[in-house]
Chain A
Amino acid sequence: MSVRLRIIRAAPSSTVQDAGRFGALQHGVGASGPMDREAFENAGALLQAASTAGIEFTRAGLDVVVEGDGTTRAAFAGGDFLLRINGRPTPWGAAASLQRDDRLEVTPGPAGNYGYVRFDHEIDVPMVMGSRATSLVAGLGGLKGRALAAGDILPLKAAGAGTGPAHTGPSPSASDAPIRFVWGIHAELFTPGLRQAFAEKQFRVSDRLDRMGVRLVDESLVFAGRPILSLVSDAIVAGDIQILGDGTPIVLMRDHQPTGGYPRIATVISADLDRFAQMRPGARLAFEPVTLHKARFLYLASRAR
């Protein structure tokens, strides 16, 4: 027998994730993976040898009881949540050894939408197309292709080749700094005036956000009343900012569909997408254009941290 986790409570859309399911776009399946990749990696870096998969929970947190025999170490990162282990307040971003009857309670904290718990044991769900990541949009991977729910059991098993300690630098703290982007594949379909307004005006994160995408409130009506463009369906990447027919901007996230036909004005740079994912409904943000060279520089810098 080995350790298993019994889910007492899981916030909506909490899922099993690993780094992602790469190489499946040609089959119509996107990569999924953690909404905040760096936080996911940081949780792994707190362990001697993290397994590949972990649990991503959303704002309302997670409540888990450990069952079975043996011990496992768990580590937490992402956003800023409140953590209790067996009722004892425990600092967020800590690691702890767990055994039978131990209880982990994660409740909403001051910041962030996504938190992670990772283990030095593998979460024993089937590999689907080379990954344990849950794709909620495709309904595959993780635990039966769906979000975790009360009563679920996640067995843990000895980890195979772990990821090992990754970089251990601090996460970039939540900030009001603009979300940087490179112009999108349809940017030239928007007038120069509209592009300028997009880069100058403020937007607000709406309460309609999930792993597929984050709808923004366009308070300055930058995109209101623009004609619907009919485009040939084309490849999507995480971070693409598409404008719906009614003028609503959506930032497409890790569970995006592989292709789409709405115009995309911009793509959030890789170095800023984790920070954007953690912005809560109501948060105001501005977008700032950067060159592809700068985007790459910022990405390399974030990987070297």
Chain B
Amino acid sequence: MGGSVSISALIVGTALLGIFALASLSLNNSALSASEVLEEASDEPEIRLINASESSGVIHLNMTNAGDETISFDQTWFSIDGELPIRASDYHTQSTILFPGETLHMQLTGTGHTSPARLFVASMGSQSGVSFS
């Protein structure tokens, strides 16, 4: 009698341990996924246009990366006077990335604008705009 009860208790105990192990694994996976979600949510760049001017159809501008993330010119779009956005990498080929803290002078040629009033830039959720001086 005593032997069978012990065996039953052993089986039930083993089953419960198995369930707890499954629960721990699932909890661990949940924590990992949650941390991945948080990492995804925190990587937004911060781009700033400092000034812009136009001379003989060439647009000169200075901009800086004020955030902690690198900014790719493939993902950076300029809009002049509210018109169709143009990709920065189509007009600037000397470098491809604006590093955190870096300030760059850029020239945009062939945009077709002769007396623009306002320049706007957008890159992966970050926006900045300046009036031409």
Say whether A and B bind each other: no
Interface residues of B (CB under 8 A from A): none
